[in-house]
């Protein structure tokens, strides 16, 4: 993990407009949730399902997952360099992850490596 110097504008509580790491302007927001932990909750719920009445462990796993999702804060992520920005105000211009946009960056990155 690399720590960046925070630009002056961001220190005052302004939302992230441009990635300070790479200068990218395409950013998205997501919950600050460890995907591996979420997957582990679902796997445990599924593994216990045959041994619980009415597969209730799946319902419990879904409720735990939903509760964690609701409680955790949002972070901003850069499409280009995948830098994560925690603790900044949410920029209303940034939306949820867009697979099409991410694939465009990935395709461009691959073509740059092979050039």
Instruction: Estimate to the nearest angstrom the gap between the alpha carbon of 83 and the chain centroid.
Output: 10
In this structure, are 81 and 114 located in the same domain?
Answer: yes
pLDDT at 28: 97
Q: Along the 115 residues of the chain, how does pLDDT read in single tens digits?
A: 667 677 777 777 788 999 988 889 999 999 998 889 989 999 999 999 999 999 999 999 999 989 998 999 999 999 999 999 988 889 999 999 999 999 988 877 766 666 5
Q: What single DSSP character describes residue 88? A: S
Q: 40 and 28 share a domain?
A: no
82 and 104 part of one domain: yes
pLDDT of 13 reads: 74
* Domains: count for the chain: 2
Same domain for 37 and 27, yes or no, is no
**Domain co-membership, 77 together with 113:** yes
Say whether both 44 and 60 belong to one domain. Answer: yes
Which residues, in sequence order, are bridge partners of residue 75? 30
Could you tell me if 14 and 63 lie in one domain? no
pLDDT of the residue at 20 = 87
19 and 9 share a domain? yes
Same domain as 91, residue 60: no
Same domain, yes or no: 93 and 114: yes
Q: DSSP per residue over 50-113, as a string?
A: GGSGGGHHHHHHHHHHHHHHHHSPEEEEETTT--EE-SSPPPTT--S--HHHHHHHHHHHHHHH
Domain that holds residue 14: 1-32+73-115
């Amino acid at each position: 993990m690399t720590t960046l110097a925070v630009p002056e504008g961001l220190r005052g509580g302004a939302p992230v407009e441009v990635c300070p790491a790479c200068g990218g302007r395409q950013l998205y927001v997501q919950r600050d949730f460890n995907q591996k932990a979420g997957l582990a909750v679902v796997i445990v719920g599924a593994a216990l399902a045959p041994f619980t009445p009415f597969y209730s462990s799946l319902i419990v796993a879904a409720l735990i997952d939903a509760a964690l999702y609701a409680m955790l804060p949002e972070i901003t992520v850069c499409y280009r360099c995948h830098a994560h920005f925690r603790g900044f105000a949410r920029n209303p211009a940034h939306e949820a992850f867009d697979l099409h946009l991410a694939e465009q960056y990935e395709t461009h990155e691959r073509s740059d490596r092979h050039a």
